[in-house]
Amino acid sequence: MDSSREEDLGVYQMLWDCSYCGASKLLARDHKHCPNCGGAQDPTWRYFPEDADKVKVEDHVYIGKDVICAACQAPNAAGAAFCGACGAELDGSKAVQLRGDQAADEGAAFAADTARAARDEHRAAKLAAQAARQAEADAAHGAPPPAPEESGGSKGKIAGIGCGVLLLLAVVCGGLGFWWFGRTTVATIEATSRSWTTTIQVEEKQSVRESAWKESVPSGAERVSCRSEKRDSRSVSDGETCKNVRKDQGDGTFKEVKECKPKTKQEAVMGEKCDYTVNKWARTREAKATGGPKDAVAYPDPKLRRTGDCVGCERAGAKAEVFTIQWRESGGKRALSCDTTRSIWDKVQVGSKWKGPVGVNKDFVDCAKLQPAG
């Protein structure tokens, strides 16, 4: 079942109560006048019957909603030329308002309905329609729309302002901090020392226990053990949910239908999860060498314990070199430094003076923008 469906359960009489003599459960289609006192039916008093009071209308031919006589308010069948109650011409008369649908779960009884409930529903609908018309008229005349209710009240407002102030402060402080630490000025600086640092990451082959879905287990994995585990879920068809609905047809009858919608449920999708042991290279330590301008730049001896592809064997991994220059600001006592490229580092001799951007409030020298000074 992949779509909604509707099943016809027949056409029945709406009921009405006579407002003149109090007779109740009168048939809305058959009795346009009270069989007890002759009073005209008020179509706003039509209500749905309890199951026990249902009267079926066989071979019902639906023409349309009843129309209300403008002269006497009596309902007349659609298509009638003259009012059956007072004889007035029905041309251009308004159709009756429909009662809202009534619904009940499949197998459950419908909630009890009354003429009073029907009348209240019609009044509410009428008031809503009036309000809508008024709003439309106001809008057409340029009147301001009704003021929307203040959300949260004054407390919310104060909290809102507080949050706004905090947010503003945070932005200002953040910006200020950025400006404070990011500010640079051009200064004359003297190189006081130069150094280099080289590093080699040392990796060790290790035996690691891991787990993965079966198709992701790496080749060469050992001691593989798998089990069934929930991997995903999918929605599957699970019959349908139905309810019975009564629909006022406006001609003194209502139609009862069964409306069904397909239902789904979540079902687990299983997969095979495996634990396994695999040998992997992992970074375990770093070898480091440093030197000054007189020392040839060289990489450290990583002192590998054991080479090869065994568990516990080591190999040299990623290499890096950093060239650092220490500075003193002329006229000041501040010590500054920069990490830079080999070619700049080579050019700068200890004791030489340079001009370039330095941090006003933090240790920063833009060594890529240095110009010889004096």
Binding region for Zn ion (CB under 5 A) = 18, 20-21, 23, 34, 36-37, 39, 69, 71-72, 74, 83, 85-86, 88
Residue nearer to Zn ion on the CB measure, 21 or 208: 21
Collect contacts of 287-290 with beta carbons under 8 A, ≥24 apart. Answer: 287/199, 287/200, 287/202, 288/197, 288/198, 288/199, 289/197, 289/198, 289/199, 290/195, 290/196, 290/197, 290/198
CB of 236 to Zn ion, least distance (A): 57
Tokens of residue 100, six digits: 């809202």
Reading phi first (left if > 0) and then psi (alpha if -120 to 50, else beta), residue 345 is in: alpha
Q: Using CA of residue 271, residue 276, residue 281, residue 286, what is the dihedral sign?
A: positive
Tokens of residue 178, six digits: 């950025």
Tokens of residue 120, six digits: 């209240």
With the CA atoms of 337, 342, 344 and 350 taken in that order, what torsion angle do they form, in degrees rounded to the nearest 10? Answer: 60
| CA dist list (Å): 78 to 39, 68, 183 | 20, 9, 86
CB of 67 to Zn ion, least distance (A): 10
Residues paired with residue 65 on neighbouring β-strands, in sequence order: none
Q: Residues with Cβ < 8 Å from 162, sequence gap 6 or more?
A: none
CB of 117 to Zn ion, least distance (A): 20
Residue nearer to Zn ion on the CB measure, 72 or 316: 72
Residue nearer to Zn ion on the CB measure, 34 or 191: 34
Residue nearer to Zn ion on the CB measure, 88 or 287: 88
CB of 118 to Zn ion, least distance (A): 17
CB of 20 to Zn ion, least distance (A): 4
CA 262 – CA 2 distance, rounded (Å): 6
DSSP, residue by residue, 315-351: EEEEEEEEEEEEEEETTS--EEEEEE-HHHHHH--TT
What is the separation of C-alpha 29 from the centre of its chain, rounded to a whole number of angstroms? 50
Residue nearer to Zn ion on the CB measure, 36 or 326: 36
Residue nearer to Zn ion on the CB measure, 87 or 174: 87
CB of 253 to Zn ion, least distance (A): 21
Residue nearer to Zn ion on the CB measure, 252 or 302: 252
CB of 56 to Zn ion, least distance (A): 24
Residue nearer to Zn ion on the CB measure, 74 or 189: 74
Residue nearer to Zn ion on the CB measure, 37 or 322: 37
CB of 28 to Zn ion, least distance (A): 14
CB of 115 to Zn ion, least distance (A): 12
Q: Residues with Cβ < 8 Å from 183, sequence gap 6 or more?
A: 359, 360, 361
Q: Which residue type is seen at 133?
A: R
